[in-house]
Structure 1
Amino acid sequence: MDTKQYIETGILELYVYGLLSETENTEVSQLAQKHPEIEAEIVSIEKAIVNLSTSFSPFLSAENFEKIKAKLDLKHSKVIPMKSISNRNQYIGWAAAAILFVGVGYQYLQLSETKNLVATTEKEKANLQENVASLELKNKQTTTALTVVRDTKNTVITLGGQAVSPTSSAKIYWNKETEVVYVDASGLPEPPEGMVYQIWSLKLQPQLTPTSIGLLSDFTANKERIFAVEKTSDAEAFGITLEPAGGSKSPTMEQLYTLGKV
C-alpha cells in the first residue's frame, strides 16, 4: 500500500475531526496499527489542531489544553482503542468548534469595522463635497463682485440711511446701456427672521412711482452681499425697504432703510 498517497487523500483529517463512519474509523485504525507513518500523521494533525486552539480560543482553560497536549505527546506503542478514539475526537471536535466560534466572531468584528469605516468615509466625502460647493459659491460671488465694481460703464448710486435705520447704506451699480442692476447691500443689517429687503426703482416725476425690481433673498448665504436684480431703464432714484418674506406690491415707507437719487 502506498501510505503517502493514502495520507494525501485527506481522510486522516476527517478521521481526526470525527467525521467518518464507524466502518471508516475502523479501517483507519487498522491501517494506523499496521503503518507507523499513518499513525504519526494522525498524531501530527491532532497536535496541530490543539496548538491552534490554544493560540486563539479564549473559551477553554489552559489547564485542560495542557492535559490534552500532554496526552498527545505520549509515544503511541499501539493504536488507541476505539473508546479512547471517541473521547479524543470529542476533545478535537471541541477545539475545532472553539476555533470556528473565534473565526466567526473575528469575521463579525471585521465586518462591523468595515461598515463603520464606510460610513465614516461617506460622511467625510459628503462634508468635502459641501465644502467644495461652498467654496465654489463664494468664489463665484467674489468674482461677480469684482466684475461689477470694476465695470467702468456702471453708474454708481449711493443710497443713504433713512429714519428707521440712519446708519444703513447701500450702493446701486447700474449699466444704463444694458439696463443691468446690481445692489451692494454690505451696509445693511441682517434682516429679521421672516423679513426681506426689497429693491425699488423710483420715478419722481410727475409723481412718485415705485417699481419693484427684486428681493435680496438668501441674505445670510451671500457673504459678498452683491445681488443681481431685475433690469430697469428709466429710474430716477432707488430705494430699499424691509418687507415681509415674499415682498410687497408697494413699498412700506415706514420701513424705508436707504434711498438715493441717480
Structure 2
Amino acid sequence: METKDYIESGILELYVYGLLTESENDEVNAMANKNPEIKEEILSIEKAIINLSSSFAPFISHSQFEKIKARLELKHGKVVDFKSRSNTATYIGWAASIVLLLGIGFQYSKLNDSKEQIETTKKEKEYLQQTVVVLETKNKNTETALNVIRDENNTVVALGGQAAAPTAKAKIYWNKQTQLVYVDASGLPEPPEGKVYQIWSLKLQPQLTPTSIGLLANFKSNSNKLFAVEKTGDAEAFGITLEPAGGSATPTMEQLYTLGKV
C-alpha cells in the first residue's frame, strides 16, 4: 500500500486512540520506523488531540474525569477502555476520551438549556395571553362606560351622601325607554369585608316602596366602578344602602349611603 493511501486509510487515528489490536499496533510501529512520513503523521495527530483537549478542558482533573466517566457508564453502558502503549500514548488516549466526554456533556447541557428555554417561552406566551384578555376586558368596559355616559336617551340621576356617609355620592344612568340602569359608584368608599352595596328603585307615592334592582358585586375588581343592574320602569328615586353580603329583602335605612330623586 502506498504511503498516502496508508495515511488516508484512518488506521493511524485508530492507532493514536488505542483502538487497534496488538498485531495491528506492531504493524503501525514497523511502518512508522521505516517511513518518516508516517511517523510524522502520527506525531501530528497526537499533537492535534493534545491541543484540542487542552483548549476544551484545561481545568479537568483525573478525579473529575472519573466522575464524568461513571455517569456516562450509567447512561450509555460501559465506556471503552483504551490499551496503553507508553506514557505519551496513555495521555493521548485520555485526551481523546476527555474530548469525547466533553462533547457529550456539551450536547446534554445544550439539550437542557433548550428545554428550559421552551418552558420559559411557554410561560411568557401564557402571560401575554392573559394580559391580552385583561386588556380586552378593560377596553370593553371602558367602551361600555363611554356609551352609557354619551347616550342622550339616558336620564342622569345624582345621588347625594346621607347621614351614614355624608361624603359619598353616585350617579344613576337610566334609560326610560329600554329601562336599562347603570350605576356609577366611583364616589362610594370600598365596602367593608362581608358587606355589599345594594341599589333600590323607590316609589315615593302614595307611600315609600323600595324595590331592589341589584348588588354592586366585585366592587374592588371593577376598575371603572360602572355597574349594570336590573331594569326598572317606574322609579321616582334611587337609593344605595350598605347591606350584608348577599343583600337584604328591605333596605337598612341606618346604612343609607346615597339618595336622589329622578
Return the TM-score normalized by structure 2. Answer: 0.80
Alignment of 1:63-142 (within 5 A): 85-142=85-142
CA distance in 2, matches of 1:144, 1:84: 83
Match of 1:2 in 2: 2
Tell me by how many angstroms 1:237 deviates.
1.8
Match of 1:74 in 2: none
Tell me by how many angstroms 1:220 deviates.
2.1
Indicate yes or no: 2:172 matched with 1:176: no
Q: 1:132 to 1:52 in 2, by over 3 A?
A: same
Tell me by how many angstroms 1:104 deviates.
4.2
Q: 1:11 to 1:175 in 2, by over 3 A?
A: same
Is residue 17–residue 93 contact of structure 2 (8 Å, CA) maintained in 1? yes
Q: What percent identity do the matched residue pairs reach?
A: 70
Tell me by how many angstroms 1:116 deviates.
4.7
Is residue 171–residue 183 contact of structure 2 (8 Å, CA) maintained in 1? yes
Is residue 84–residue 90 contact of structure 2 (8 Å, CA) maintained in 1? no
Find the residue that maps to 2:251 and give its secondary structure.
coil
CA distance in 1, matches of 2:228, 2:173: 10
CA distance in 2, matches of 1:249, 1:120: 52
Is residue 196–residue 216 contact of structure 2 (8 Å, CA) maintained in 1? yes
Find the residue that maps to 1:182 and give its secondary structure.
strand
CA distance in 2, matches of 1:171, 1:226: 10
Is residue 216–residue 227 contact of structure 1 (8 Å, CA) maintained in 2? yes
Task: Give 5+ residue unaligned stretches, structure 1.
Answer: 62-82
Residue identity matched to 1:240: I
Alignment of 1:242-261 (within 5 A): 242-261=242-261
CA distance in 1, matches of 2:177, 2:123: 49
Residue identity matched to 1:39: K
CA distance in 2, matches of 1:27, 1:210: 111
CA distance in 2, matches of 1:247, 1:6: 97
Match of 1:75 in 2: none
Match of 1:211 in 2: 211
Is residue 141–residue 222 contact of structure 1 (8 Å, CA) maintained in 2? no
Match of 2:56 in 1: 56
Tell me by how many angstroms 1:199 deviates.
1.4
Match of 1:79 in 2: none
RMSD: 2.5
Match of 2:154 in 1: 154
Q: Structure 1 segments of 4 or more deviating over 6 A? A: none
CA distance in 2, matches of 1:231, 1:90: 92
Query: Which range is displaced more, 12-21 or 246-255?
Result: 246-255
Aligned residues: 241
Residue identity matched to 2:37: E
Task: Give 5+ residue unaligned stretches, structure 2.
Answer: 62-82
CA distance in 2, matches of 1:60, 1:221: 58
Tell me by how many angstroms 1:176 deviates.
1.0
Is residue 160–residue 169 contact of structure 1 (8 Å, CA) maintained in 2? yes
CA distance in 2, matches of 1:2, 1:214: 100
Query: Which range is displaced more, 234-243 or 3-12?
Result: 3-12
Alignment of 1:24-43 (within 5 A): 24-43=24-43
Q: 1:8 to 1:211 in 2, by over 3 A?
A: farther
Residue identity matched to 2:47: K
Tell me by how many angstroms 1:219 deviates.
1.7
CA distance in 1, matches of 2:51, 2:205: 102
1:200-247 deviations in Å (ceiling 9; x for gaps): 222333443322222212222222211111211222221112222332
